[in-house]
């Protein structure tokens, strides 16, 4: 009888330990997926920011006296680069909003300068920015899907018990800059 109880207790202990290991791995994997997705957003933000020196150079050729707008873009580019090196999603969103505003002003110059709007370099840069924006939208969606997965795991039984021990917390969704 004692042997039966001992075997039963040992079996239960092994099952609990196995469940913990499975849960721990599941929660940590979901957390790593979120970090990976945030890295994907950073790649696209960096790609978009790297197009700006060429855009500024092209615009300066046609509209050199628009220095305030071009300086604003350079400042926004620096803020975006700084934001992608941090952990804060809110800081990325804010820097992206500032960057979008600055780039919008530069692209609006194409309306004021018809020769700029007909420049192949300017048109090519506009197309590259549009392509990057599409990739960035996909990266944001992937990140938010990953965050939804982690947040679901950290708030549902039985994973919520393992999440605390694994050091995984709910994550912040990426808001689209307006």
- pLDDT, one tens digit for every residue, the chain (178 residues): 788 888 888 999 999 888 889 889 999 999 999 999 999 999 998 888 888 888 878 777 776 667 778 788 888 888 888 888 877 888 888 888 888 888 888 888 777 777 777 778 888 888 888 898 899 999 999 999 999 999 999 998 888 888 888 888 999 998 876 6
Residue 176 lies in a domain: no
Question: What is the pLDDT at residue 147?
Answer: 95
| Tally of domains in the chain | 1
Judge whether 8 and 124 are in contact, CB under 8 Å.
Answer: no
HEC string of the chain equals: CHHHHHHHHHHHHHHHHHHHHHHHHHHHHHHHHHHHHHHHHHHHHHHHHHCHHHHHHHHHHHCCCCHHHHHHHHHHHHHHHHHHCCCCHHHHHHHHHHHHHHHHHHHHHHHHCHHHHCCHHHHHHHHHHHHHHHHHHHHHHHHHHHHHHHHHHHHCCCHHHHHHHHCCCCCCCCCCCC
Domain containing 146: what range?
18-166
Closest CA to 109 of 159, 70, 166, 165: 70
Stated pTM of the model = 0.80
**Confidence at residue 135, expressed as pLDDT on a 0 to 100 scale:** 92
List, as one string, the DSSP characters of 139-150. HHHHHHHHHHHH
Tell me the residue ranges of DSSP E strands in the chain: none
* CATH label of the domain that carries residue 148: 1.20.1440.20
Sign (positive/negative) of CA torsion 19, 24, 29, 30?
Answer: positive
The structure tokens listed for 149 are 């997965």
9 found inside a domain: no
Question: Using an 8 Å Cβ cutoff, are 83 and 72 in contact?
Answer: no
Q: Taking the mean position of all CA atoms in its chain, how far away is CA 60?
A: 31
């Amino acid at each position: 009888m004692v042997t039966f109880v001992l075997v039963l207790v040992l079996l239960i202990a092994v099952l609990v330990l196995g469940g913990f290991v499975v849960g721990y791995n599941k929660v940590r994997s979901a957390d790593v997926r979120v970090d990976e997705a945030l890295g994907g957003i950073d790649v696209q933000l960096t790609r978009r920011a790297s197009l700006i020196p060429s855009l500024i150079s092209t615009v300066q050729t046609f509209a050199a006296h628009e220095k305030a707008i071009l300086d604003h873009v350079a400042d926004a580019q620096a803020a975006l680069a700084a934001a992608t090196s941090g952990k804060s999603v809110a800081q990325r969103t804010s820097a992206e909003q500032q960057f979008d505003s600055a780039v919008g002003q530069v692209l609006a110059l194409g309306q004021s300068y018809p020769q700029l709007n007909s420049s192949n370099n300017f048109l090519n840069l506009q197309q590259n920015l549009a392509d990057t924006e599409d990739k960035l939208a996909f990266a944001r969606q992937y990140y938010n899907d990953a965050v939804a997965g982690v947040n679901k795991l950290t708030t549902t039984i039985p994973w919520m018990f393992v999440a605390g021990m694994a050091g995984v917390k709910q994550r912040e969704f990426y808001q689209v800059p307006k």
